[in-house]
Amino acid sequence: MIGEKNLKSIKAETEFIKETFKNESFVISQDLKSPIKEGVINLNKTSDNKHIDFNLQLQNNLDPNNLTFKKLGFDKNCRLISSNRTFVVPAKGVTNVKGKRFVSTNEITGEITTIYDEGFPLESMSNFRLILKIREEYFGTMFLGTEYSCDGVQYGLGLFKLLVENMEYQIFRHKKSIEQQIYLTIKCLNTINFQNFKDDCELILKSVGFLTGNWHQNEHYFFSYGSNDFKSFDFLYYKYSHDSIITNFEIINPQQFRSFIHTDPKNPPRLTSILFPEKILSTLVNKLKFKHELERTIELLIEGNEVRSPLIRCSIFSVALETVVSLIHSENKAFFKPIKKTEKLTPILNQFKDIAEREKDGFSALEYSSLLKKITYFNTPFNKDKFILAFELYKINLPEKYNVLLNTRNLFFHGKTPYEEGTLKSNIKDLHLEANRIHMLVSILILKYIGYRGHIKNQAAYRLESESFYNETDRQIEESAFYNI
């Protein structure tokens, strides 16, 4: 039987999402005098739009040259007042305005991407939930979570819990069968500052996006509550974030991995043994809060998957590789030093510095500075060696073809490829596979950096094996579709 703590409900919130901003009229109020003050604004939100449309009737006609955000007054907060509620549209909350181009008008249309209840606790501590629409029916089932029930629907898996800076989060999805819509919910069981909650939600979604290839963003509906029983919400904060990135370029797939290892159907292993641990996901989110290089690396991986050009993908993923290796090197400099016996090296380098100082007058300022840098960084590994050493640090033995691939990163930095000039078009397919492999190499380093032990999907080999299966060919594939790391 599902425990009481795992009984969830988002019925009130999803019904509110469906109905709010549907042909609602308000009067605009602003502290400063502006053309939009006292205007009547009608809001209309359709399920297909990623924003709120508005139609605004001004008190007076305006010249077309005055239809700018600043001249209208949308560069400042404005209040939208009706008989039963008051919203606030913050500065930059309106992202598009339109009016007649050549004649004066008192009618303006546009789009709102940020709006919130006036009483929403922007500064004070409160309990919050984020709800957003997604399309992944089995979202969350790759994690070592638990069963739960939401509004009468039983889920055998998909509720997972994270600890982010001692704040406890729960994440789950729910499908409303009538409207065929899937909702993703992130809630914090602790009272928290709203900005911190927003930041944590972004990092959670970004971390999951790294593992699945799907970074869910689009429209965010934030709800505030008086207590962490989440039975009744108080206020809403609506924001259109960015377009979601949906590529399905996953690096973790427990179900496929279980099939890959050819388990005995009479004695299958427990599925939970190969699910992604919640603790490791928590570690990733916490790392992203403070390791900005790591966050940039993950963004490069996720956004790079949307790019169609394999050459650009290789270049983007090579930058990601450089970024994460630099982070690992900065935290493990002793391991990366070519000469380990630094106690013997130090006096030698000091002698070099003394000689350089004595001969200083024989060099220009630039030459002397260059000489000192060479001495200072004498025991720093070459860039080429850093990449190999990063994998050695985590005891990852790469097949030779991957070691060769690591050495190509400098080519992509200079707009070149591993192929002869003029042959790129005939090697597009292979270059796509190389991009996938670089992506996997970066992902391995990230996963080991956060302490993960388990499987990782090799999209390049998986693609080759799938083609071989469907085309019924006997092509020999020299790499595995999954690796244990």
178 and 204, same domain (yes or no): yes
Look at residue 275 and tell me if it is in a domain.
Answer: no
Q: Which domain holds residue 428?
A: 291-334+383-484
Question: Is the Cβ–Cβ distance between 135 and 245 less than 8 Å?
Answer: no
Do 162 and 299 belong to one domain?
no
Both 153 and 297 in one domain: the answer is no
Average pLDDT over residues 200-220: 97
Asked whether residue 71 falls in the same domain as residue 94, the answer is: yes
Chosen domain end from 83, 117, 151: 117
Residues contacting residue 132 through CB under 8 Å, at least 6 positions apart: 183, 184, 216, 217, 218, 219, 220, 221
Chosen domain end from 82, 117, 152:
117
pLDDT single digits (tens) 72-92: 989 999 999 998 899 999 999
Whether residues 109 and 130 share a domain: the answer is no
pLDDT band, very low/low/confident/very high, at 1 (cuts 50, 70, 90): very low
Note whether residue 346 is domain-resident: yes
What percent of the chain is predicted at pLDDT more than 90?
64
With 0-12 CB in 10 A as exposed, 13-18 as middle and 19+ as buried, what is 381? middle
Q: What pLDDT, on a 0 to 100 scale, did the predictor assign at position 65? A: 81
Cβ atoms 285, 143 nearer than 8 A: no
SS3 category, 83: coil
Q: Does the structure show a pLDDT above 70 at 264?
A: no
Is residue 334 over pLDDT 90?
Answer: no
Q: What is the largest CA-CA distance in the chain?
A: 85
pLDDT score at 477:
79
pLDDT at 4: 59
Q: Give the pLDDT confidence of 301-329 residue by residue, as tens digits.
A: 999 999 999 999 999 999 999 999 999 99
pLDDT at 353: 81
Do 52 and 89 fall within a single domain? yes
**What is the separation, in whole angstroms, between the first and last Cα of the chain?**
36
Determine the pLDDT at residue 265: 64
Task: Evaluate if residue 474 carries a pLDDT over 90.
Answer: no
In a domain, residue 258? The reply is no
Where is pLDDT greater, at 468 or 209?
209
Helix, strand or coil, per DSSP, at residue 395? coil
pLDDT of residue 341: 67
Q: Are 378 and 372 in contact (CB under 8 A)?
A: no
Residue positions counted in the chain = 485
Question: Which range (153-157, 357-361, 377-381) has the least confidence?
Answer: 377-381
Higher pLDDT, 178 or 254: 254
Bridging pattern class, strands 78-81 and 86-89: antiparallel
Domain boundary among 117, 134, 157: 117
Q: Are residues 387 and 453 in the same domain?
A: yes
User: What is the helix (H) or strand (E) element at residue 424, kind and residue range?
Assistant: none
pLDDT for 230 beyond 90: yes
Between 280 and 266, the higher pLDDT residue? 280
pLDDT at 422 over 70: yes
Same domain for 315 and 435? yes
Q: Which residue has the higher pLDDT, 437 or 372?
A: 437
What's the chain's average pLDDT? 90
324 and 195, same domain (yes or no): no
Q: Is 26 part of a structural domain of the chain?
A: yes
- The answer to whether residue 393 sits within a structural domain is yes
Number of Cβ within 10 Å of residue 289's Cβ equals: 15
Residue with tokens 């390791």: 291
Q: Is residue 277 part of a domain?
A: no
Q: Does residue 252 sit within a domain? A: no
Q: What is the pLDDT of residue 379?
A: 67
255 in a structural domain: no
What phi and psi, each to the nearest 5 degrees, are found at residue 418? -75, 0
Q: What angle do CA 236, 34, 91 make, to 5 degrees?
A: 35
Q: How confident is the model at residue 163 (pLDDT cuts 50, 70, 90)?
A: very high
- What band does 271 get if pLDDT is binned at 50, 70 and 90? low
Q: Are residues 322 and 219 in the same domain?
A: no
Residues 368 and 387 grouped into a single domain: no
pTM for this predicted structure:
0.90
When divided into structural domains, the chain yields a total of 4
Q: How far is CA 419 from CA 119, 154, 196, 416, 424, in A?
A: 61, 53, 48, 8, 7
**pLDDT value of residue 472:** 64
**How many CB atoms are closer than 10 A to CB 417?**
19
Q: Is there a single domain that holds both residue 20 and residue 157?
A: no
For residue 263, name the pLDDT band (cuts at 50, 70, 90).
low
